[in-house]
Copies of this chain bind each other. A is one copy, B any other.
Amino acid sequence: MNKTVKEIAALIKGEVVGDGDIVIRGFAGIKEAQKGDITFLSNPRYLSFLEITQASAIITTPDIKSSQKTLIYVDNPSLAFANLMMLINPSPIKLEGIHPTVVLGKNVKLDRNVAIGAYTVIEDNVCVGRGTVIYPACFIGYDSRIGEDCLIYSHVSIRERIVVGNRVIIHSGTVIGSDGFGFVNVEGIHHKIPQLGTVEIADDVEIGANVTIDRARFDKTFIGRGTKIDNLVHIAHNVVIGENCLIVAQVGISGSTTLGNSVTLAGQVGVVGHIHIGDGAVVAAQSGVSKSIPAHTQVWGYPAKPFTLAKRINACVQRLPLLYKTVEELKKRLKELEERI
């Protein structure tokens, strides 16, 4: 990049306060920024860096004042900064065309501007929408449909009959459509239950690296539009996830559980099967969810409880050594009293 603060402000529709002619060369976080970098400030915990950052300009909100720094005022600094980064940086994706080593089955339909890297294998009857990029060494099973403008990184396995929407990003090593974990136990032997269903991923979903999403027994496991899934998450068969959820790393969701819209499951949360988590619910990290959660509830703990109750109980637990002491003392005083009477 080689742009003045004025030019940058025009790109993100911001207002310059300070020297608009400073030339910006790079992006950086407020702590690491050097001269020539632009940064942003939206999280109040970083306010103390405002005057000491080495950045040459700071994108922030109009309530932030600085006597020395050049600022660009916008409504949402984090979003403006993200948009600026995407406007300025060339895409990191350099794949083009279909590599000659790609193995295509019968009746595969690749729309225009599809790019597929070396050694990817695509089985019969697969459709890939225009603009989609598939990295090297992926596998896509027969009858699957991948939408437009998707980005599928290396070593992704998509089994047969899976549906992936538009603008979906799938990071490396992720497996979509493996068999659900279902067995009938007859006299101690586990007999496999066929998993004949599929997985459907709606538009604008992002799925991290080494995630596993199992196919349903009959119907489909479903990930709703705009939901973002972090690395190493496990989603069991028949799970239905709503729109715009955040599923943080290493979460596990058991079979047939359903999530509403805008649910957040923080890292390493475990959820039992056959329950419902309501719209907007937030589950704190490492919690174990054993019962359905009403909409817009925050829960924490093992088993998970409403956040304020969990906090109160946790505070009680931390003070237990003191409580034991108090009870011991009461016992002693009571005994004395009993003896005196």
Contact check: which of B123, B154, B194, B333 meets A82 at CB < 8 Å?
B194
A251-264, CB under 8 A of B: which get 1 and which 0? 01010000000100
User: Per a CB cutoff under 8 Å, which of B101, B218, B323, B333 touches A103?
Assistant: B101
Chain B residue numbers with a CB within 8 Å of A338 are: 333, 337
> Is A92 an interface position by the 8 A CB rule?
yes
Interface window among A11-19, A59-67, A242-250: A242-250
Indicate whether A184 reaches chain B with its CB closer than 8 angstroms: yes
- A231 partner, pick from B178, B249, B272, B324, beta carbons under 8 A: B178
A334 touches B334 (CB 8 A): yes
Known pairs A94-B142, A157-B173, A331-B326; A184 contacts B82 (CB<8 A): yes
Rounded to whole angstroms, the CA-CA distance of A319 and B135 in the bound complex is 54
**Cβ–Cβ < 8 Å partners of A219 in chain B:** 28-29, 32
A119–B101 alpha-carbon span in the complex (Å): 10
Q: Given the complex, which residues of B lie within 8 Å of A179, measured CB to CB?
A: 169, 171
The residue in chain B whose Cβ has the minimal distance to the Cβ of A86 is: B194
Query: Chain A 30-73, CB within 8 Å of chain B: the 1/0 string?
Result: 00100000000000010000000000000000000000000000
Asked whether, in the complex, the Cβ of A268 is within 8 Å of the Cβ of B244, the reply is no
Which residue of A190, A303, A327 has the most chain B CB atoms within 10 A of its CB atom? A190
- Segment at the B interface, from A107-115, A126-134, A207-215, A291-299: A207-215
Contact with B along A268-305 (1 / 0, CB 8 A): 10101010000000000110101000000000001101
Q: Shortest Cβ distance from A147 into chain B, in angstroms?
A: 17
Once the chains bind, are B320 and A313 in contact (CB under 8 Å)? yes
- 27 of the cross-chain contacts (CB-CB < 8 Å) are A32-B219, A45-B274, A82-B184, A89-B194, A94-B142, A101-B103, A117-B121, A153-B157, A155-B173, A155-B175, A157-B172, A172-B175, A172-B178, A175-B231, A178-B231, A188-B244, A210-B212, A212-B249, A234-B267, A267-B270, A286-B302, A303-B314, A319-B324, A320-B320, A327-B327, A330-B334, A337-B338
Q: Which residues of A contact B (CB under 8 A)?
A: 27-29, 32, 45, 76, 78-79, 82, 85-86, 89, 92, 94, 99, 101, 103, 117-119, 121, 123-124, 135-137, 139, 142, 153-155, 157, 159-160, 169, 171-175, 178-179, 181, 183-184, 186, 188-194, 196, 206, 208-212, 214, 217-219, 226, 228, 230-232, 234, 236, 244, 246, 248-250, 252, 254, 262, 267-268, 270, 272, 274, 285-286, 288, 290, 302-303, 305, 312-314, 316-321, 323-324, 326-327, 330-331, 333-334, 337-338, 340-341
